[in-house]
Structure 1
Amino acid sequence: MKDTLKVGATHRFSFTVTDAKTVPQLYPESPDFCAMPAVFATGFMVGLMEWACVDAMKPHLDDGEGSLGVGINVNHVAATPPGMMVTVYVTCIKLDGRRVSFHVRAEDEVELIGEGTHDRAIVRWDRFTPKIKEKAAKIRR
């Protein structure tokens, strides 16, 4: 990773919630999820927070590097209906070797909907991918 990412760096990322990002779509195989209201799912909010952090890190990574989520601690405090825009505000709060920590805050067009912290580990894809292929080869069916 380049030395350009600093503690205190901020980033903003927006996304309009679609029907595909609501609770019934999180696990359509689950009758329990399908019976819930069609509002922005916590799982998709977490994914959006990760996406915002990935986007914030992009200009600071070297060629062949990426990042993986390794920690998440957030609260989802308000429901958001489809059609509303959600904006995630990201602040880098800690750099520790190949690990980067962020404060994340998500707001829809009306109010705060979620907040917490997210940690990412920087990886080299040419090292990570072979390990996953090796693991997948161990699947017993």
Structure 2
Amino acid sequence: MQEQPEPGLTPGLTARMELTVTDADTAQAVGSGDVPVLGTPRVLALAEAASVAATAASLPPGMTTVGIRIELDHRAATAVGRTVHAQARLAEVDGRRLLFEVRVTDGTETVADGRVERMLVDRRRFVERATRTA
């Protein structure tokens, strides 16, 4: 049985983020390879940031979202100095579970595409649980 979606969190919400690739964003710099091109971890972070931004203004008070699953195909290399754009679209809302379709482009081609799943949580309770000591 599907849970009821949160009011305001409806499919179709979008956001776009931009990144101009620097040396600090390369696979060499982030430890994901030995080539001086945009590293997959940075592509993933940009896609995730776009998904966060897509729902930020629509979240109920005291709530936030946390990432729970990411599927990303990194399809093309991007050189330092190029600019990439990540577009996220909220595709599905199933109670507290939010599914986004993401696409990263460099103006001429698709750099990456995939899906980001996030979960709606109470910010205060989530942080309290995470910072408890055993």
In the other structure, the counterpart of 2:81 is 83
Q: 4+ residue stretches of structure 1 with deviation over 3 A?
A: none
* One-letter identity of the residue aligned with 1:125: R
Query: What TM-score do the two structures reach when normalised by structure 2?
Result: 0.88
Checking the alignment, whether the CA contact within 8 Å between 2:13 and 2:55 is kept in structure 1 is no
In the other structure, the counterpart of 2:104 is 106
Query: What TM-score do the two structures reach when normalised by structure 1?
Result: 0.84
**1:11 Cα deviation after fit:** 2.4
* One-letter identity of the residue aligned with 1:114: A
- Report the 3-state secondary structure (helix = DSSP H, G, I; strand = E; otherwise coil) of the residue aligned with 1:37: coil
- List gaps (5 residues or longer) in structure 1: none
Corresponding pairs, count:
130
CA-based RMSD of the aligned residues comes to 1.7
Q: State how far apart, in whole Å, the 1-side matches of 2:23 and 2:72 are.
A: 23
Instruction: Please state if 1:5 is matched with 2:3.
Output: no
- Report the 3-state secondary structure (helix = DSSP H, G, I; strand = E; otherwise coil) of the residue aligned with 2:64: strand
Checking the alignment, whether the CA contact within 8 Å between 1:84 and 1:109 is kept in structure 2 is no
In the other structure, the counterpart of 2:25 is 21
- List gaps (5 residues or longer) in structure 2: none
Structure exhibiting the larger radius of gyration computed from Cα positions:
1
* One-letter identity of the residue aligned with 1:131: R
